[in-house]
């Protein structure tokens, strides 16, 4: 493949992040599940573009500057005059577990596939190598936006483009409407090649009783490759008729579990695109996630990231 065909396109929302440190003060940063994964994929040396919408304010400028510094293409980030990006606060308890508080209802990312430039984005996505998105991506769009995005994924797969998806279910993002959530997810799952779910999320949304149950349900949609994340427990990988439980090589005490799943996904996808088998890719995902959860914030300093 040549030119843009090599690109991974990650689709979603990046927000201003305020994370409380051990001194009680908040540090300013930015993050968002698919953006975090895109950053770690770029650090792995892959050609990555992020598709979203931002405002024309200084905070949006800072997000674009960060993306550029990370080597990520920003030509698929639309600027909307007079608008502001979303904001979220993270509170982390003594065990490293997080609570999130969001201000994002009017963020321009929600209208990405309704803006005048959406057709240009669609054309660029159709020349990608892989498209990556999440359940949070799905949660921000209107029915019209969802319809366009899902149709685009279907056309992309017909052109041989791979589609990777992390369910990343957050009930608050769906306003508690579990039936609509399931309906949208089922439509999305019909268009997925690689599923990277977290077992706790799947149990919450679907009532799955085990990672094996999650695999069986996702395989019923025809998904050929599945890696079920399960915290410090082994990940369950299913591909090519084989299932493997891949243990976390070194269980570490988390300082902040923000972006644990996002970084696992980046490690996994980078390894797979580099030629590793699914079990080896899961091991790479575990290693990167372990590095990330030992520091605060979604995006750790570049010198720390263990993606190779």
Once rounded to an integer, what is the mean pLDDT over residues 82-95?
87
Cβ-contact 60, 77 below 8 angstroms: no
Q: Which domain holds residue 62?
A: 3-304
Q: Give the mean model confidence (pLDDT) for residues 254-259.
A: 80
Strand 15-20 with 242-246, pairing? unpaired
Is the model more confident about 41 or about 96? 41
CA-nearest of 259, 253, 247, 244 to 292 is 259
- Number of domains forming the structure of the chain: 1
pLDDT at 2: 35
Q: Confirm whether 262 is a catalytic residue.
A: yes
How do strand 98-103 and strand 194-195 relate by DSSP bridges? unpaired
Average pLDDT over residues 168-197: 96
Q: Give the SS3 label for residue 299.
A: coil
Question: CA 257, CA 91: separation in Å to the nearest integer?
Answer: 11
**Lookup: tokens for 111:** 């209208």
Q: Is the dihedral of CA 28, 32, 35, 39 positive or negative?
A: positive
Please give the C-alpha separations between residue 137 and each of 8, 33, 94, 184, 245, in angstroms, as whole numbers.
Answer: 16, 9, 29, 11, 28
Instruction: Report the pLDDT value the prediction gives residue 258, as an integer from 0 to 100.
Output: 79
CA distances (Å), origin 91, targets 9, 36, 37, 97, 114: 30, 18, 21, 8, 33
Length of the chain: 308
Residue with tokens 């508690």: 176
**CA dist 206 → 18, 161, 163, 179, 226 (Å):** 31, 28, 22, 10, 16
**pLDDT for position 1:** 31
**Residues 195/226, Cβ–Cβ less than 8 Å:** yes
Q: Which of 56, 250, 262, 276 is catalytic?
A: 262
CA distances from 235 to 33, 142, 153, 250 (A): 19, 33, 27, 13
> C-alpha angle with apex 74: 71 to 79, nearest 5 degrees?
150
CA proximity to 139, closest of 188, 91, 90: 188
Residue bearing tokens 């321009």: 108
Could you report the per-residue pLDDT of 218-245, keeping only the tens digit for each?
999 999 999 999 999 999 999 999 999 9
pLDDT given for residue 301 in this prediction:
86
Lowest mean pLDDT among 87-96, 250-259, 274-283, 297-306: 297-306
- Give the pLDDT of residue 273: 97
Residue-wise pLDDT for 261-303, tens only, equals 999 999 999 999 999 999 999 999 999 999 998 887 788 888 6
User: Encoding tokens for residue 280?
Assistant: 């080896």
CATH classification at residue 63: 3.40.1190.20
pLDDT (average), residues 111-139: 95
**Has residue 5 got a pLDDT over 70?**
no
Q: What is the pLDDT of residue 20?
A: 81
Q: Write out pLDDT tens, residues 34-65.
A: 999 999 999 999 999 999 999 999 999 999 99
């Amino acid at each position: 493949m040549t030119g843009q065909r090599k690109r991974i396109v990650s689709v979603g929302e990046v927000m201003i992040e305020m994370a409380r440190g051990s001194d009680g003060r908040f540090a300013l940063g930015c993050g968002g599940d698919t953006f975090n994964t895109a950053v770690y994929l770029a650090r792995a040396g892959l050609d990555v573009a992020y598709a979203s919408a931002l405002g024309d304010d200084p905070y949006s400028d800072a997000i674009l500057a960060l993306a550029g510094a990370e080597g990520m293409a920003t030509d698929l980030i639309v600027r909307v005059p007079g608008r502001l990006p979303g904001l979220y606060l993270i509170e982390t308890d003594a065990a490293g577990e997080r609570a999130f508080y969001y201000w994002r209802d009017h963020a321009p990312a929600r209208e990405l596939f309704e803006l005048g430039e959406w057709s240009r984005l669609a054309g660029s996505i159709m020349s990608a190598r892989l498209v990556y998105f999440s359940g949070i991506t799905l949660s921000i769009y209107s029915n019209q936006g969802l319809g366009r995005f899902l149709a685009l994924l279907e056309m992309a797969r017909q052109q041989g483009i791979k589609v990777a998806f992390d369910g990343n279910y957050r009930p608050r993002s769906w306003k508690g409407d579990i039936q609509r959530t399931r309906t949208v997810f089922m439509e999305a799952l019909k268009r997925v090649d690689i599923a990277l779910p977290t077992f706790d999320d799947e149990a919450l949304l679907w009532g799955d009783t085990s990672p094996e149950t999650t695999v069986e349900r996702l395989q019923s949609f025809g998904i050929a490759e599945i890696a079920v994340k399960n915290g410090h427990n082994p990940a369950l990988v299913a591909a090519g008729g084989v299932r493997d439980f891949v243990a976390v090589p070194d269980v570490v005490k988390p300082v902040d579990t923000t972006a644990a799943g996002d970084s696992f996904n980046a490690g996994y996808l980078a390894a797979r695109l580099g030629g590793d088998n699914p079990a080896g890719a899961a091991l790479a995902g575990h290693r990167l996630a372990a590095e990330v959860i030992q520091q605060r914030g979604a995006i750790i300093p570049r010198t720390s990231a263990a993606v190779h």
